[in-house]
Amino acid sequence: MEPQNHTHSSKFFLLSLPDDPYLQPLLFGLLLSMYLVTLLGNLLIILAVTSDSHLHTPMYFFLSNLSLADISTTTVPKMLVNLQTHSKSITYAGCLTQVMLFPLFACLESLLLTVMAYDRLVAICHPLHYLVNTNPRLCGFLVLLSFSISLLDSQLHYLMMSQLTFCADVEIPHFFCELSQLLSLACSDISINIILMYFIGTILARIPFSGILYSYTQILFSILRISSSGGRYKVFSTCGSHLSIVYLFFVTGLGVYLSSAVSSSSRKGQWSP
């Protein structure tokens, strides 16, 4: 079979969506309710931060931007549409959009969580310099820098995807279009794409994780220097919400990565003699 660019061939198929007609409505209702609750919660956070002058602080400014990035998803709406229509297909343009937007907002969220960790570091370890080190101009610059880096990552994913050629039948063993899965299904040479993808992924994963780890290591040392247990608890409680968000983000990301790896290996096992 001659390889051809999938722009001119059949649709992609997302194989991780269930076939069971009894399970699909249940999964649709569960996903829809979770999506609406998440959407409403993030919108309320943005509304509260923008309307209440008491919340015009660096931490809540970063939180509102994090909420804005969290509601900007393309994977869940497409999953809901496919479950409702009992279809697994997605167009080339739709797949390309997911490949471009998913890393954009995932990278943006991880960088914003790193910036929020820096905010907690300055607030707890250097409270006298907090207003200077987290002034509005710096906060705006950090958000803009985070978005710029995420946009660059997104455009690199777009360029790698747009250069690929595919065979006639493209079946993706996932519930959304992920670049690593698409690379394994491509008919063209992907050696440079693989190197570039892992190089970018390693950098953009290690920098946020290292920044958050360093910030909370310094915070922990500062807390241990507090003599009273009540004082320690009061200081640490200011980091509780951020730590829970960090935990959920990285655990969810790890789950997506592992599910992708398992799906890819199981697919190879099915095709192996």
**13: β partners:** 89, 171
209 closest CA partner among 237, 251, 241: 251
**Dihedral, CA atoms, 55, 61, 67, 70, nearest 10 degrees?**
-170
C-alpha distances in angstroms, 76 versus 17, 28, 141? 12, 10, 30
Residue 6 has pLDDT above 60, yes or no: no
When pLDDT is cut at 50, 70 and 90, the band that residue 10 belongs to is low
Does residue 12 sit in helix, strand or coil? strand
The pLDDT tens digits of the residues spanning 159-206 come to 888 888 877 667 888 888 888 888 888 887 788 888 888 888 888 888
Residue with the larger pLDDT of the pair 45 and 252: 45
Pick from 81-85, 113-117, 125-129, 231-235: least confident: 231-235
- Residue that the structure tokens 């190197």 belong to: 195
pTM of the model: 0.84
pLDDT at position 272, please?
A: 45
Q: Which two tokens stand for residue 158?
A: 């777009």
Pick left, alpha or beta for residue 86 (phi over 0 → left; psi -120 to 50 → alpha; otherwise beta). Answer: left
35 closest CA partner among 65, 80, 4, 3: 80
Residue 257 has pLDDT above 80, yes or no: no
pLDDT at position 206, please?
A: 87
